[in-house]
Structure 1
Amino acid sequence: METYKVAVIEDVKKIGFKEVKKREPEDRQVLVKVDSCAICTLEQRVYSGVMNRYPFAGGHEAAGTVEAIGKKVKGVQVGDKVAVRLLNSCGECYYCRNGHENQCTTSFIAETQECAMGPGGFAEYMMMDASDVYKMDPKIDLTHAALSEPLACCVHSIENGQIGLGDDVVVIGVGIMGALHIQLAKLKGARVIACELDDTRLEIAKKMGADILINSGKTDPVKEIQKITEGRGADAVFCTVPVAALAKQAVDMSGKLGRIVFYTSFHPDNPIDISPNKVHSTEQIITGTVNPMKKDFLIATRLLSGKLIDVSALISDCIPLENIEEAMEKAIRPDTYRIIVRP
């Protein structure tokens, strides 16, 4: 019996390996040989003990090569390079059926690997439903393809921000999500202003295409954006940092008809002061964004396959699956972007 390895987070900062039977795919199943799986904040939180979900087969930003397909699979062939969509939805609830599967009421209860709950990308193989496998360009670097999921999250956010040609767009924070927002906003034809405390990350913002850089520790960003926009304020602001005070800042720096998108979850979830009269009189839109829809994931794979988005500067290191604890320790450091685990 042929088996393969799956990494499972068993407790706080403890990862073990399980042996899982390698099966042939049935009907609409696709067996994917995993090439790359990025470590996201979710896995970092479980590994660090912030979230108690043990045992947990982590890894939901994955890409690989099709090794075998079921007899009813039409969209991919053996040998195709693919990204896999692992943030699943039920397809039956009200939100799934009205086209908002990212708001699924029972989403993300994944059992990709039979040995433990979780998306299961930290493994040598994955058995996927064909509907969750997205074909990539045959020449793509699979470490880049693994970032389809975080890019899809940002695609959804950018769509919520309703960017128009020539808009002044502010991105608060230049972590990986902020960096992807910058590139996407530039593709939409915006002038992009990046706000960040770290000068090294501001250099990344410049590489991503940001037109104006503001070090928020040295300059009042709200006043600076008022100056840059000749008193109007920004047309769209994306807050990608989980600090409530910056959410307030995002509202303050936007102008009439401005769209404010709270991209991140906030910890702690402190309330902020907002003037209802200002929202009333300026027609500002304050919204959030959570999880990508299928359409967003498709767009992300096309952007990466077409080399319209470059993620090379956002991959800090690639580490073998057998050294996944080392990879996790690197991933939780604040000076890294994505760490890729490679079986």
Structure 2
Amino acid sequence: MKIESRKIVFTKNHDITLEKEVKELTIQNGNEVIIKNHCTHISLGTEMACLAGLESWFPLPGTPGYTSIGEVIEIGSDVSGIKAGDLVYTMGPHSGYFKIHSGDRWSGLCVKVPEKLSPELASFTHMAGIAMTSIRKSQIEIGDYVLVAGLGAIGNLAAQLAVLQGAKVIAVDLEEKRLDIARKCNIPLCINSSEENIIGKIKELTGGKGINTFIDATGMSSVINRYGETLATNGEIILLGSPRSPFETNLTAFLKYFHYLPYLASLKGALEFAYPTYENDFVKHSIERNSKIIMDLFLNKKLILNGIYSHKITPEEAPDVYRKLNSNKMSILE
């Protein structure tokens, strides 16, 4: 069937347009699903990197976006668990209509949204799913001290999930607005990272024992390097943010955190796709299972989105919003 649609296009570095298109969408495979978008979600870190041409997997020109809440229009004969008319969460793009292959490892996830959960709140499932990867990869236990650096949406949600895990969470960021939002999300120990002797203050808050788990949600190598000194013996560093910018340092000094006393730390990557996409009987954790758990947490108000959910915009407004974010990521909170 022919469908009139619109999509966001990153045409070249730092250039954004909203384009109309007529596309042919038909089910050609038993695992395919055609979806009409209701709302999508801007992923600030990843999409700004795509817009700047920093992601090799995203060629320009291209349509960004990997979080969609949409209505199922048609399904293939082999698709189960959903039907036409259902509202589903997928990793779909900023496009009015699109088609997925429900068995695809990278973009085929398709999870039914609970009836009482609004599409807008459900659209945060991917951000929270990325955040949950840091918790899954960690060894956080009740009473552990957890440091989270970077309180954008993903860092904030990681901190909230660590609290739900029973941890004593210390959250740091340079932006007071983000710290204020974090406090409203029941993260009480929020510190501006520009404070003098921030390392000493963190150690003091742990009674001198140090941090058991340090989750970096900034993706900045300098930040990862900075907070190694706060680690307790046998602590761990979790790379939740994706390091992208060059950083020069003394690697030998950094490696002391992993080889020498008093640290003996471990370093773990928390890329979402470290886990299988789909549930199966032989693996406990998967992106699909995490997504279902997260939507249940949203539904039962265990994860707080006040302040994280800052704006709702139309497709027509999107190019200007992207340009504003591209010039100043914090501008959306002003």
CA change 1:278–1:76 in 2 (3 A) is closer
For residues 286-305 of structure 1, what are the structure 2 equivalents within 5 Å?
A: 286-292=267-273, 293=275, 294=277, 295-305=286-296
In 2: Cα distance, 1:278 partner to 1:48 partner: 34
Question: What is the aligned counterpart of 1:257 among 213, 234, 257?
Answer: 234
Show CA shifts across 1:17-75 (max 9, x none).
14132423342211111111112233223334556832111111211121222222211
Asked if 1 retains the 8 angstrom alpha-carbon contact of 2:202 and 2:210, the reply is: yes
Asked if 2 retains the 8 angstrom alpha-carbon contact of 1:206 and 1:213, the reply is: yes
Deviation at 1:248, TM superposition (A): 1.6
Aligned residues: 304
Deviation at 1:311, TM superposition (A): 2.6
In 1: Cα distance, 2:169 partner to 2:330 partner: 23
Question: What is the aligned counterpart of 1:43 among 35, 43, 47?
Answer: 47
Higher relative contact order (CA 8 A, sep 6+): 1
What value does the CA root-mean-square deviation take over the aligned residues? 2.3
In 2: Cα distance, 1:9 partner to 1:156 partner: 28
Matched letter for residue 319 of structure 1: I
Deviation at 1:136, TM superposition (A): 1.4
Question: What is the aligned counterpart of 2:322 among 320, 325, 328?
Answer: 328
In 1: Cα distance, 2:331 partner to 2:76 partner: 39
Give the aligned partner of residue 28 of structure 1: 31
Secondary structure of 1:316's match? Answer: coil
Matched letter for residue 130 of structure 1: S
Deviation at 1:275, TM superposition (A): 4.8
Matched letter for residue 266 of structure 2: I
Secondary structure of 1:209's match? Answer: coil
Give the aligned partner of residue 129 of structure 1: 101
Show CA shifts across 1:290-310 (max 9, x none).
234321343133222342323
Give the aligned partner of residue 197 of structure 2: 220
Asked if 2 retains the 8 angstrom alpha-carbon contact of 1:155 and 1:296, the reply is: no
In 2: Cα distance, 1:123 partner to 1:188 partner: 36
Secondary structure of 2:219's match? Answer: coil
For residues 1-343 of structure 1, what are the structure 2 equivalents within 5 Å?
A: 1-12=2-13, 13-26=15-28, 27-40=30-43, 41-48=45-52, 53-85=59-91, 121-131=93-103, 132-266=109-243, 267-271=245-249, 272=251, 273-276=253-256, 279-281=259-261, 282-292=263-273, 293=275, 294=277, 295-307=286-298, 308-332=302-326, 333-335=328-330
CA change 1:279–1:300 in 2 (3 A) is farther
Deviation at 1:168, TM superposition (A): 0.8
CA change 1:306–1:212 in 2 (3 A) is closer
Greater displacement, 164-173 / 72-81: 72-81
Q: TM-score, normalised by structure 2?
A: 0.83
CA change 1:253–1:72 in 2 (3 A) is same
Give the aligned partner of residue 281 of structure 2: none
In 2: Cα distance, 1:246 partner to 1:280 partner: 21
Deviation at 1:284, TM superposition (A): 1.5
In 2: Cα distance, 1:326 partner to 1:312 partner: 24
Secondary structure of 1:237's match? Answer: strand
Deviation at 1:200, TM superposition (A): 1.6
In 2: Cα distance, 1:171 partner to 1:36 partner: 29
In 2: Cα distance, 1:270 partner to 1:37 partner: 37
Secondary structure of 2:34's match? Answer: strand
Deviation at 1:234, TM superposition (A): 0.8
Matched letter for residue 29 of structure 1: E
Show CA shifts across 1:232-284 (max 9, x none).
10111111123322112221111111111122233124345325376343431
- Structure 2 spans left out of the alignment, 5+ residues: 104-108, 278-285
In 2: Cα distance, 1:232 partner to 1:63 partner: 44
Greater displacement, 293-302 / 221-230: 293-302
Matched letter for residue 62 of structure 1: S
Matched letter for residue 11 of structure 2: E
Matched letter for residue 32 of structure 1: I
Asked if 1 retains the 8 angstrom alpha-carbon contact of 2:212 and 2:235, the reply is: yes
In 2: Cα distance, 1:137 partner to 1:150 partner: 18
In 2: Cα distance, 1:207 partner to 1:67 partner: 38
Q: TM-score, normalised by structure 1?
A: 0.81
Matched letter for residue 66 of structure 2: H
CA change 1:2–1:173 in 2 (3 A) is closer
Asked if 1 retains the 8 angstrom alpha-carbon contact of 2:128 and 2:294, the reply is: no
CA change 1:5–1:278 in 2 (3 A) is closer
Aligned-pair identity in percent equals 22
- Structure 1 spans left out of the alignment, 5+ residues: 87-120, 339-343
Asked if 2 retains the 8 angstrom alpha-carbon contact of 1:10 and 1:16, the reply is: no
